[in-house]
Structure 1
Amino acid sequence: MQTRAALLLVCGLSACAPAAAPPASAPHDPQRIVSLNPCTDAILTKLVEPGRIAAISAYSQDPQASSMDVGEARRFDSVGGTAEEVIALKPDLVVTGAHLSPATRNALDRQGIAVQVFGVPATIAESRQQIADMAQALDAPERGRALLARIDAALAAAQSDAKTPALVWLGDGLVPGQGTLVGDVMDHSGFRNASADYGLASWDVLPSEYVVAHPPRVVFMDRRGSSAASGSREDGARRRRIDALQASGQRVQIEDFPQNLLYCGGPTLIPLARRFAQARQALR
């Protein structure tokens, strides 16, 4: 898919947004919460009872875009993100990511709807703080602490001082480099993010010939692709990349990396840490 990585890299701003209204203050104990972002969806559903969630984003009900269990996501009403949809739900709090358009934000402000914005964390520490901040905003301190404890346990189990060169290299060539949450979890889990070996920035695209000519010890790829693209050009390109790496004659281990692990922090840190730990244990 034209990957949701664009959501991590590009913030579309409207130059013609209406004049801003003063933002509403967040309620102490919100009971009708709407989430407009798949990352806030994933955290929200772990922190509050389902009855307090008026809607989550439609992204989380798409298997190729979700950072949470799709079956769980489909138990909730969803919104596409327009101000009209949100206002009709009469929420007392909206939680969302930094890519909310100014026009939508201004419309919600004019209706007196409180909005809490959460950015894209670049480190484990930032992700942990984001969970704590959301738990405070939702008046859910105990569930926040419980989620952090599960994340800390997964990270502790994955921790390693090894520095095995590795690269997360997605089907479209996208590579998360240094200064990204995925890169921080890699470092924590015993891998050295090899993106800098290719002169890449924090997020960059790496053509196949560079990886095949000088592969790191481990390459993480989404080997499954999207079901809608089965047999497509995208799947063919992925297969050619795998074949080229295996035929390179160099000692490289290819590990599966579901693209859904790339998008968010929060609860996603648990399967992300486990994926890296499993790959490290499988090193031959």
Structure 2
Amino acid sequence: MTRNCITKGLRQGGRVGAFILLALGLASCAQGVSAPPPRDPAHPTIVSLNPCLDAILTEIAPPAQVLALSHYSRDTGSSSIPAGVAARYGVTGGTAEEIIALRPDLVLASIYLPQPTRTALERAGLKVETFGSPTSVAESIAQVRAVAAVAGRRRAGEMLVRDMTAAAEPDRGGRPIPALLWQPGEIVPGDATLVADMLRRKGFANHAAAMGLGQADFAALETILAYPPEVLLVAGDSAGQRHPLLADLTDTAVAPLAPGLLYCGGRTIVNLGARLNAIRAGLTP
């Protein structure tokens, strides 16, 4: 459209005054072309490549600011975000080409972002910020504040931190209750994990340690039947985790736990805290 307007102006004006007509042609054509929305330095546009960072961003930033989430957030098996919320945001497969095409002001990623991808993004002039995986409530709160700072959403970040702090308030109800968290794949968490920190705060002791099991160790059904905990939190759907023999654990309370509550901080801590409170409250004194 711009080229047609300029050509018309040059034909009408001939050689004399061509430069003037060219300038006028550009100005008149610009009126008919939609300019891109202006950038807001206080609220940079963002592409996220990590599902846990996705979960923070959807709490503190509007969809207009978040150009894309990671594709993991559209997968119910790996997402910590409700499907309806995730559907409001675009996603990428995580390739440098896709991200560069979106032209974000900022890319948020895991510290494990492949170096070739990071190099390509930075060569294209994109700013990249990387974050680790929190292993405690305190680390998760710090991460929320850091993400909120780079997104220009400190106030929203503090509102989320307030909810997280309340949800992680330690239980004062009595002795720690031995509990085994049976995750997808029939594995157990180690002590240095965010979910283990939440279990401790809510009055549960890690029964996996008493069984001689550590981070991501496999817990067979037979082992659990031989060394049953007082509480078995089932967060998987394997054959062993659905076995009828679990009903024979008369001295063990078996409670389901949604897998989406296991891996990320932010709002996940709020939901996990509520679920653990409910489980603890339902136990026989």
Q: CA RMSD in A?
A: 1.8
Contact 1:158–1:276, Cα closer than 8 Å, also in 2: no
**Aligned equivalent of 2:202:** 189
Task: Evaluate the alpha carbon distance shift between residue 260 and residue 190 of structure 1 in structure 2; reply closer, same or farther with a 3 A threshold.
Answer: same
SS at structure 2 position matched to 1:46:
helix
Distance 1:265 1:107 in 2: 29
SS at structure 2 position matched to 1:156:
coil
Q: How many positions carry a matched residue from both structures?
A: 245
Alignment of 1:102-251 (within 5 A): 102-156=115-169, 160-222=173-235, 225=237, 234=238, 236-240=239-243, 243-248=244-249, 250-251=250-251
| 1:36-89 deviation digits (Å, cap 9, x = unpaired) | 111000001111122111111111111121101111101111101111111110
Distance 2:199 2:180 in 1: 9
| 1:213-243 deviation digits (Å, cap 9, x = unpaired) | 01110010136x4xxxxxxxx3x33322xx2
**Aligned equivalent of 1:273:** 273
Q: What is the CA-CA distance between 1:275 and the residue it aligns to?
A: 1.1
Distance 1:160 1:167 in 2: 19
Code of the residue aligned with 1:196 in structure 2: it is: A
Distance 2:256 2:208 in 1: 18
Q: What is the CA-CA distance between 1:161 and the residue it aligns to?
A: 4.8
Task: Evaluate the alpha carbon distance shift between residue 205 and residue 167 of structure 1 in structure 2; reply closer, same or farther with a 3 A threshold.
Answer: same
> Greater Rg, structure 1 or structure 2?
2
Task: Evaluate the alpha carbon distance shift between residue 174 and residue 28 of structure 1 in structure 2; reply closer, same or farther with a 3 A threshold.
Answer: farther
Code of the residue aligned with 2:119 in structure 1: it is: N
- TM-score of the two chains, using structure 1 as the length reference: 0.81
**Aligned equivalent of 2:107:** 94
**Unaligned 5+ residue runs, structure 2?**
1-39
SS at structure 2 position matched to 1:75:
coil
Distance 2:55 2:269 in 1: 11
Task: Quote the sequence identity (%).
Answer: 38
Q: Which runs of 4+ in 1 moved over 4 A?
A: 157-161
Higher relative contact order, structure no. (Cα contacts within 8 Å, ≥ 6 residues apart): 1
**Aligned equivalent of 1:23:** none
Contact 1:158–1:273, Cα closer than 8 Å, also in 2: no
Q: What is the CA-CA distance between 1:96 and the residue it aligns to?
A: 1.6
SS at structure 2 position matched to 1:185:
helix
Code of the residue aligned with 2:131 in structure 1: it is: F
Contact 1:178–1:195, Cα closer than 8 Å, also in 2: no
Are 1:45 and 2:58 counterparts? yes
SS at structure 2 position matched to 1:251:
coil
